[in-house]
Amino acid sequence: MISATSVPWNIAVDMLLKGAKMTIELSVLSILLGLIIGLPVALMETYGNKTLRYIAMVYEGTLRGIPLLAIYFIIFFSMPLLVGVGLPAFWAAVVGLGIRSSAYQSQIFRSGIQAVGGGQIEAALSLGMSRMQMIRYVVLPQALRMAIPAWMNEYIIVLKDTSIALAIGIVELTRQATYLVSITAEPFKYYGIAALFYLAMVLPLTYLAGHVGRKYGIKGTGGAANVRI
Amino acid sequence: MSESNNVLVIRNLTKKFGEKPVLRGVSFNVERGETKVIIGPSGAGKSTLLRCINRLVEPNSGEIIFNGVNILSGEVDIRKIRARIGFVFQHFNLFKHLTALENVKIGLKVIRGLDNTEAEDKARKALKAVHLEDDAYDKYPAELSGGQQQRVAIARALAMEPEIILFDEPTSALDPQLAGEVLDVMRDLAKRKVTMLVVTHEIGFALNAADEVLFFYDGVIWEKGRPKELLYHPQKQETREFLRRIADLSMFGGE
Amino acid sequence: MGYAGLIAHHLLGGLGVTLELTVVGFIGGFAFGFLLAVGRTYGGRLSRLLSTAYIELIRGTPMLLQLYIIGFGLPLFIRRYHPSFVMSPLLAASLGMVLNSAAYQAEYIRGAFNSIDYGQIEAALSLGMSKWKIIRHVTFPQAFRIMLPSWTNEMVYLLKYSSLAMLLAVPELMYKASVVASETFLYAQIYLLVAGIYLVFATLIIQAMRRVELRLHIPGVTTIKR
């Protein structure tokens, strides 16, 4: 088709770094958004009344049952038509990945909350704590600590799924690599480098999560890292 | 020198784990119909000794002569030997996905090759011998008490009609009441002249049911004798100390 | 009326391809994953090294990257030597999904086999069972049941991520949705509809597997949640 051109090394590195930077930015913003939404949803699902619980369950059930690509397309293409307002691609990507992550994070926090022994809840209430105080001072500190390994695992998943944002035009690492490959016809070189970038980010985190998981984790959620929930 | 009455002869068995010697020349024998009990300090290697006998653990040197054949030699089909040696574990080790009855049947079907009816027949007989409650036959191990699980484990060993049954601290994982049910079954078996080699802390059982008691210490059989002799009049210092410690505890525990 | 029918026809075709990708990915992934698990547990030094390296490589990189390597990068490379080489996108996507799923399934399989306590193996050995008999009568029946929830997860995962094949121009559901949407300008409706279809199938898978889990449940071996 098109004859291959070679790309000067410094330009290629520049492009890949730009992509890596975008990957990391996107992943960090998304995981944080996921946290901000996911924790309240977890609380709703555990402590809420019937209505709140139902809303929480529908929310996380739906977002976990549809592809991220579908979420992206709905936010990016459907939203402007439905609501009249559209998000720029970058924020659409953050919101899409963020709300999907929030659904998974809500389950992680729920496990953590449920793992805090019932005896402590009885003790807290016997001391005269209100429900809110009990949640804030007894349950959450422990639940969050126990959730750390699974949460780190979720971050790894988010990091890898930032690649899907290229479908709505985000210039992240996989997209940059693909672009370079399409120009130079050197797939193993550029995809190889991209793979190394991802591995360099994922492997240490996996190891760390496994380590933390052995110390703090709840059996069955996040003891082993890099698992597809 | 009639070896023909001995089911098991152990000669100079040694075993090291890395640098640490665990068995330093163990020798004894078990005659047909005998109940032999091994006592001794925890962690000293009694479990290892039993596991060497059916070669779950490979000893470094020595002889294990089972019915006249040295089973440590190369040409021996260890699986066939294992089928003739019963083993009852401290933690029962029942197959979790099978009911009590199925646990007892499986060896008969898969190893002895019996058909379902025969296997079922023998299995029920074995479970009766251990007095398993009727409603427990179709329950899974997770649904049984510890005492029931261990009795099923004994039945599983019994059903294979072995020439000797090895018991590795069969009641150590059970609370006193459940331990009692299991010890009753074992006393029963001893009375019926089943050949048994039992590692245990239950001195009461040793007194009632054993033909001989062996005190295992420092990797060897330190002392041995008839139950009343060894337990009431131990000759060696170490034996006395060990018994004193155990007796102190069991005095409060009741027998 | 014919309009809606046409849309339905397109989407149904896409759904077929999606389900195909999911099923092939799952079964192929299990087969290859099983080999990887065996290689990693029972293999010699080289097998263990290779299987571990493979698993870590696949699990440490995005599936989309892997799909692009197989569907875009590989054909490009081969075309340097055989200029007329063409790889069917469906084949590339299927291959990519199989290779990806295998790495994850290998770990599920390994985990299930390892979770069976050694005591039961000792007991089986003491009865005189051979290694194969132990696997067949003791390990496998339990490992199989323990793996069921992982299978559910994996199937739903593959269902959702089959949508990535769209970017390789595979005519699966998401691809067809985008085609139909851009032709009818019914972006909102089509994408919401398609999301709904994924959700329905994900739920079907979960419900069906739950039924299987309940049927095969043995207390002490598997746990029933909720």
Choose the weakest-confidence range: A187-196, C1-10, C41-50.
C1-10
Reported confidence tier of residue A218, pLDDT bands at 50, 70, 90? low
Residues in chain C with CB shorter than 8 Å from the CB of B93 are 117, 119-120, 122-123
Nearest to C62 among A163, A181, A187 (CB): A163
Tokens of B141: 């191990």
DSSP string, A79-99: HHHHHS----HHHHHHHHHHH
Q: Mind listing the pLDDT tens digit for each residue in B212-254? A: 999 999 999 999 999 999 999 999 999 999 998 887 655 544 4
C108, closest residue in chain A (CA to CA): A227
Across the range B100-115, mean pLDDT stands at 95
Query: What is the nearest CA distance from A194 to chain C, expressed in angstroms?
Result: 8
Nearest to C126 among B82, B97, B141 (CB): B82
Q: Give, for C154, the enclosing helix (H) or strand (E).
A: helix C140-161
Residue B186: predicted pLDDT: 97
pLDDT at C163 over 70: yes
User: B108: how many CB neighbours lie within 10 A of its CB?
Assistant: 24
CA A203 to chain centre: 16
Starting at the edge strand found earlier in the chain, the sheet holding B196-199 runs: B85-88, B164-168, B196-199, B35-39, B212-217, B220-225
Query: What is the nearest CA distance from A178 to chain C, expressed in angstroms?
Result: 8
Nearest to residue B61, comparing CAs of B8, B13, B11, B10?
A: B13
Stretch 15-74 of chain B: residues touching chain C, C-beta under 8 Å: 54, 56
Reported confidence tier of residue A172, pLDDT bands at 50, 70, 90? very high
Q: Give, for C10, the enclosing helix (H) or strand (E).
A: helix C2-42
Reported confidence tier of residue A29, pLDDT bands at 50, 70, 90? very high
Nearest to residue B183, comparing CAs of B101, B52, B88?
A: B88
- Orientation of helix C2-42 relative to helix C140-161, angle to 10°: 140
Across the range B98-109, mean pLDDT stands at 95
Residue C43: predicted pLDDT: 84
Q: Measured between CB atoms, does B95 come within 8 Å of chain C?
A: yes
Residue A227: predicted pLDDT: 57
DSSP string, chain A: -PPP----HHHHHHHHHHHHHHHHHHHHHHHHHHHHHHHHHHHHHHHS-HHHHHHHHHHHHHHHHS-HHHHHHIIIIIHHHHHS----HHHHHHHHHHHHHHHHHHHHHHHHHHHS-HHHHHHHHHHT--HHHIIIIIIHHHHHHHHHHHHHHHHHHHHHHGGGGGGGT---HHHHHHHHHHHH--HHHHHHHHHHHHHHHHHHHHHHHHHHHHHHPBTTBSSSSS---
Reported confidence tier of residue A130, pLDDT bands at 50, 70, 90? confident
Reported confidence tier of residue C100, pLDDT bands at 50, 70, 90? very high
Nearest to A194 among C63, C65, C181 (CB): C65
Residue C200: predicted pLDDT: 98
Q: Mind listing the pLDDT tens digit for each residue in A190-205? A: 999 999 999 999 999 9
Choose the weakest-confidence range: A69-73, A87-91, B242-246, C158-162.
B242-246
Nearest to residue C125, comparing CAs of C113, C114, C133?
A: C133
- Spatial separation of the C-alpha atoms in residues B22 and B48, rounded to whole Å: 8
Q: Mutating which of C127, C130, C133, C144 best tests the B interface, going by the most B Cβ atoms within 10 A?
A: C127
Across the range C162-170, mean pLDDT stands at 97
* Average pLDDT of every residue of chain C: 94
The 3 state secondary structure assigned to chain B is CCHHHEEEEEEEEEEEECCEEEEEEEEEEEECCCEEEEECCCCCCHHHHHHHHCCCCCCCEEEEEECCEECCCCCCCHHHHHHCEEEECCCCCCCCCCCHHHHHHHHHHHCCCCCHHHHHHHHHHHHHHCCCCHHHCCCCHHHCCHHHHHHHHHHHHHHCCCCEEEEECCCCCCCHHHHHHHHHHHHHHHHCCCCEEEECCCHHHHHHHCCEEEEEECCEEEEEECHHHHHHCCCCHHHHHHHHHHHHHHHHHCC
Reported confidence tier of residue A155, pLDDT bands at 50, 70, 90? very high
Across the range B148-170, mean pLDDT stands at 97
Nearest to A69 among C65, C69, C174 (CB): C174
Q: Measured between CB atoms, does C87 come within 8 Å of chain A?
A: no
Share of chain B above pLDDT 90, in %: 88
Q: Do C65 and A191 meet the contact criterion of CB atoms below 8 Å apart? A: yes
pLDDT at A220 over 50: no
Q: Measured between CB atoms, does C66 come within 8 Å of chain B?
A: no
pLDDT at C64 over 60: yes
Starting at the edge strand found earlier in the chain, the sheet holding B20-31 runs: B20-31, B6-17, B61-66, B69-70
Q: Do C177 and C190 meet the contact criterion of CB atoms below 8 Å apart? A: yes
Tokens of C47: 């097998």
User: A157: how many CB neighbours lie within 10 A of its CB?
Assistant: 20
Q: CA angle C110-C112-C115, nearest 5°? A: 105
Across the range C127-146, mean pLDDT stands at 94
Query: What is the nearest CA distance from B222 to chain C, expressed in angstroms?
Result: 28
Q: Mutating which of C69, C109, C176 best tests the A interface, going by the most A Cβ atoms within 10 A?
A: C69
Q: Is the dihedral of CA B234, B239, B245, B249 positive or negative?
A: negative
- Spatial separation of the C-alpha atoms in residues B185 and B195, rounded to whole Å: 14
* Average pLDDT of every residue of chain B: 92
Nearest to residue B39, comparing CAs of B236, B165, B216?
A: B216
To which residue do tokens 């995005």 refer?
C62
Share of chain A above pLDDT 90, in %: 69
Is there a contact between C120 and B94 if contact means CB atoms under 8 Å apart? yes
To which residue do tokens 């179709």 refer?
B138
Is there a contact between C119 and B89 if contact means CB atoms under 8 Å apart? yes
B79, closest residue in chain C (CA to CA): C128
Question: Is C77 buried (19+), middle (13-18) or exposed (0-12) by CB count in 10 A?
Answer: middle
Q: Do A69 and C163 meet the contact criterion of CB atoms below 8 Å apart? A: yes
Tokens of B9: 């002869």
Across the range C95-122, mean pLDDT stands at 96
**C-alpha separations of C129 from A14, B80, B81, C145 in Å:** 62, 9, 11, 22
Choose the weakest-confidence range: A15-19, A59-63, A164-168, B17-21.
B17-21
Across the range C69-97, mean pLDDT stands at 94
Q: Mind listing the pLDDT tens digit for each residue in B116-158? A: 999 999 999 999 999 999 999 999 999 999 999 999 999 999 9
- Spatial separation of the C-alpha atoms in residues B64 and B77, rounded to whole Å: 14
- Spatial separation of the C-alpha atoms in residues B218 and B75, rounded to whole Å: 32
Strand partners, B197: B36, B166
Residue A224: predicted pLDDT: 42
Q: Do B218 and B26 meet the contact criterion of CB atoms below 8 Å apart? A: no
Q: Measured between CB atoms, does B140 come within 8 Å of chain C?
A: yes
Nearest to A198 among C61, C69, C74 (CB): C61
Residue C188: predicted pLDDT: 87
Is there a contact between A178 and C191 if contact means CB atoms under 8 Å apart? no
- Orientation of helix C187-216 relative to helix A50-65, angle to 10°: 100
To which residue do tokens 């139950």 refer?
B227
Return the partners of chain A (3 or more C-beta pairs < 8 Å). Answer: C
User: From chain A, which residues contact C within 8 Å (Cβ)?
Assistant: 62, 64-71, 73-74, 77-79, 81-82, 160-164, 166-167, 174, 177-178, 181-182, 185, 187-188, 191, 194-195, 198-199, 202-203, 206, 224, 226-229
